[in-house]
Amino acid sequence: MAEIRRPDDMVRITTPELAQAFIDEQIALVKEQVGDKKVLLALSGGVDSSVVAALLIKAIGDQLVCVHVNHGLLRKGEPEQVIQVFRNEMNANLIYVDAVDRFLDLLAGVTDPEQKRHNIGEEFINVFAEEARKLDGIEFLGQGTIWPDILESEAGIKAHHNAGGLPEDLNFELVEPVRILFKDEVRVVGEQLGLPAGMVYRQPFPGPGLGVRCPGAITRDRLEAVRESDAILREEFAKHGLEGKVWQYFTVVPDFKSTGVTNGQRSFEWPCIIRAINTTDVVECSVEHLDPAFMDHLVQRITTEVDGINRVLYDFTPKPPATVEYE
């Protein structure tokens, strides 16, 4: 099959009309490529895989089999949102895999960031491959590859996340309906497909999930502190009109404790670090300076509502010298 390239003269997709024209074109191409065969898709709930899922559902309906793996490192409410949108609203053929214990047991005691990333990525492939082998008639693998992935791969910046990680017996042909699009175009197409704004404009989220925002060996209680504090931060950013204006914002709960006072008693608990940054290219990032009164409100909510947190810090470090994530 010939490689699909983005035409040099392709008009940027910025309007519903252009998005619909692209959707109609891709539906025809997918039907031609797939025929009456089945397509398997790892559906994370991220922007790219969600848009691909919605597009493929329109093209081939229940010939698409979506697999959503909950590895315990997703943000609060994300697995539920995937099930609600795709199974309940779009009638997708969705397989939900609860692999929380499997992943967290595997990660117990692992402190090296690269080893954590490797374990999470490898185990995800193992779980996905196990589910794939249970299914009959799968000949295609759907992927949310987008044009920057291709460009970065060709430039040697990062490896293209294709099917190379799957075992040899799972020899699927790729279906990549958004591979010629930039991220902003994928979002416009997602809106036109009827996906909820919270999914279409979801913040960038690392592949290993909250695992890299829980530095050191991951424990269930500290992971839950990250998840709950992150949920509060996202809720408050939305309430105060910052959602969509700040590029990325999240919390980190490091593996050390400090003395504090909780309900009149000495406490020995973790700090919660808030990070909020802006960027156009991710090569350099600037820090979003929050209003002091808003910051006070965040501190009050997080320290009173999240178990195990007695201190809130704000990361004022741009990139460089810091990176976006802590691991």
pTM, rounded to two decimals = 0.86
From CA 244, how far away is CA 318, in angstroms rounded? Answer: 19
The pLDDT score that the predictor gives to residue 164 is 47
From CA 23, how far away is CA 59, in angstroms rounded? Answer: 9
Rounded to 5 degrees, what are φ and ψ at 246? -100, 130
Query: Is domain 209-314 annotated with CATH 3.40.50.720?
Result: no
Which residues on adjacent β-strands are paired with residue 261? 266
H-state helical runs in the chain: 16-34, 47-60, 78-82, 100-107, 113-133, 147-154, 183-192, 197-200, 220-239, 292-305
Residue type at position 85: V
- Give the residues of the chain that fall short of pLDDT 70: 1-2, 156-165
- Type and span of the H or E element at 246: none
The pLDDT score that the predictor gives to residue 149 is 80
Do the beta carbons of residue 181 and residue 143 sit within 8 Å?
no
> At which residue do the structure tokens 């930039």 appear?
182
CATH of domain 16-200: 3.40.50.620
The pLDDT score that the predictor gives to residue 1 is 56
- Domain ranges across the chain: 16-200, 209-314
From CA 4, how far away is CA 136, in angstroms rounded? Answer: 28
- Quick one: angle between helices 16-34 and 183-192, nearest 10? 90
> At which residue do the structure tokens 């910052």 appear?
242
H-state helical runs in 134-219: 147-154, 183-192, 197-200
The pLDDT score that the predictor gives to residue 162 is 45
